Amino acid sequence: MPDTLPSDSVGLVTPETLHFDEPLALACGQTLNSWDLVVETYGTLNSDRTNAVLICHALSGHHHAAGYHTMEDRKPGWWDTCIGPGKPIDTNRFFVVSLNNLGGCHGSTGPNTLNPETGELYGPDFPVVTVLDWVNSQAALANRLGIERWAAVVGGSLGGMQALQWSISYPDRIRHAVVIASTPRLTAQNIAFNEVARRAITSDIDFHQGRYYEHNTVPRSGLMLARMVGHITYLSDASMGEKFGRELRDQAYQFGYDAEFQVESYLRYQGERFSETFDANTYLLMTRALDYFDPAYESGNDLVKALEKAHCEFLVVSFSTDWRFTPARSEELVNAMMAARRKVSYAEIDAPWGHDAFLIPTPRYSAVFSAYMGRVAREVGA
């Protein structure tokens, strides 16, 4: 809890719920007739409405990207390191919009909210939404906020996929797409890890085919396992080695199966904490959205052709130790962008933290991010 808020913080922020009564046709064939998005904004929209930046969140993210909700908050928003006055996404220049995506579990319409048509919680009946569905809902949000064209759509990991989808689906409504630690599609290995996570949840005895709310329970151990395996893929061998090594909690081996190594207890702690705050159905949905993401699919599996639809400029950033979405995946994307003759810049940041590096500001990452966004700001007169 900070006594005073840091000077480079956006400060105290309040989320807002926006209600939409316009039907949203989803990729799965279903339609959401009425839906809510929880949104936070930072900074001020200029009179020309040219300085708006959309932040897209990753698997476990939400609308609270920067600042604090109360003075009692232990931590700021999940991307506070990159959003704020003087930070790469400079709120003195940009009007920043951050939302919780549909299917999320932090207030936007999703499995843990009421289905207005039945009066019951959606639960497993909430449709499987895709990255394109999210982008369509975000376009409705832009309309609501009076933003014709985003200065930039920015995201890391699954968020980067949304930025990429924006560039293809709404080419005239986005000037820049910033795609960080992301990939044009999941590999078999990525899908395999997601499947392990999903099986951990669905095979939990408390899962009840997703209707655990009705049984007043949650598949806690399944969600915990899913998070544990996911968490391993977000870190790197080197960063885990650095942080935990083979350190034991006690002096000697106990010759049992409790958490004896520090890394075991860390993973259990992370998993437990996550299972108390995250919704299992949302976790299933988010991992499926990841699996399905493949913008080349509709262009005959030709990523170059897909990207030829885009008009915006791109910044692509990867991290050297990211083995979830490796630099090679970003390079595949960059090569397709160049083959499509799109304007793109690419940097591979040397950082030890694996996939999570996109959340951690290193001098070079901040320099690259700030340089690019600074130019975006100048371009839109912010």
Partner 1 sequence: MRADLEIIQQWIAPGGHVLDLGCGDGTLLDYLQRERQITGYGLEINPDHITECMTKGVAVIEQNLDTQGLSNFDDDSFDTVLMTQALQAVRRPDIVLDEMMRLGREGIVTFPNFAYWRLRWYLMWQGRMPESETLPHKWYNTPNIHLCTFRDFEALCHQKNFRICNRMVVDGEHQDRWLSRLWPNMLGQIAIYRITRGD
Which residues are near partner 1 by CB under 8 A?
313, 315, 331, 334-335, 338-339, 341, 343-348, 364, 367-368, 371-372, 374-375, 379
Q: Which residue has the tokens 């959205």?
A: 289
- State the minimum distance, in angstroms, from the CB of residue 88 to partner 1: 11
**Helix (H) / strand (E) containing 200:** helix 188-202
Cβ atoms of 179 and 326 closer than 8 Å: no
Pairwise CA distance, residues 156 & 168, whole Å: 17
Q: Which C-beta is closer to partner 1: that of 187 or that of 366?
A: 366
Cβ atoms of 129 and 108 closer than 8 Å: no
- Which listed residue (60, 98, 157, 221) is catalytic? 157
Q: Which residue has the tokens 């049984």?
A: 215
- State the minimum distance, in angstroms, from the CB of residue 326 to partner 1: 14
CA angle 196, 198, 204 (to 5 degrees): 100
**Helix (H) / strand (E) containing 18:** strand 16-20
Cα Rg of the chain, angstroms: 21
Q: Which C-beta is closer to partner 1: that of 27 or that of 367?
A: 367
Q: Which residues of 221-252 are buried (b: 16+ CB within 10 A; e: fewer)?
A: bbbbbbbbebbbbbbbeebbeeebeeeeeeee
Q: Which C-beta is closer to partner 1: that of 260 or that of 331?
A: 331
Q: Which residue has the tokens 């299972």?
A: 275
Taking Cα atoms as reference points, which of 119, 120, 172 lies closest to residue 148?
A: 172
Q: What are phi and psi of 155, to 5 degrees?
A: -165, 155
Pairwise CA distance, residues 333 & 1, whole Å: 41
Q: Which two tokens stand for residue 91?
A: 């709120």
Residue numbers in the known binding site are 227, 356
CA angle 278, 53, 24 (to 5 degrees): 60
Residue 208 appears among annotated catalytic residues: no
Taking Cα atoms as reference points, which of 151, 119, 324 lies closest to residue 233?
A: 324
| 90 contacts: CB under 8 Å, gap ≥ 6 | 84, 370, 373, 374, 377
Q: Which C-beta is closer to partner 1: that of 51 or that of 60?
A: 51
Residue 322 appears among annotated catalytic residues: yes
Residue numbers in the known binding site for substrate are 227, 356
Q: Which residue has the tokens 């232990």?
A: 74
Pairwise CA distance, residues 225 & 283, whole Å: 12
The residues facing 55 across adjacent strands are 98, 154
- State the minimum distance, in angstroms, from the CB of residue 372 to partner 1: 5
- Which listed residue (80, 90, 133, 322) is catalytic? 322
Q: Which C-beta is closer to partner 1: that of 192 or that of 328?
A: 328
Q: Which residue has the tokens 């989808």?
A: 165
Supply the residues annotated as catalytic. 157, 322, 355
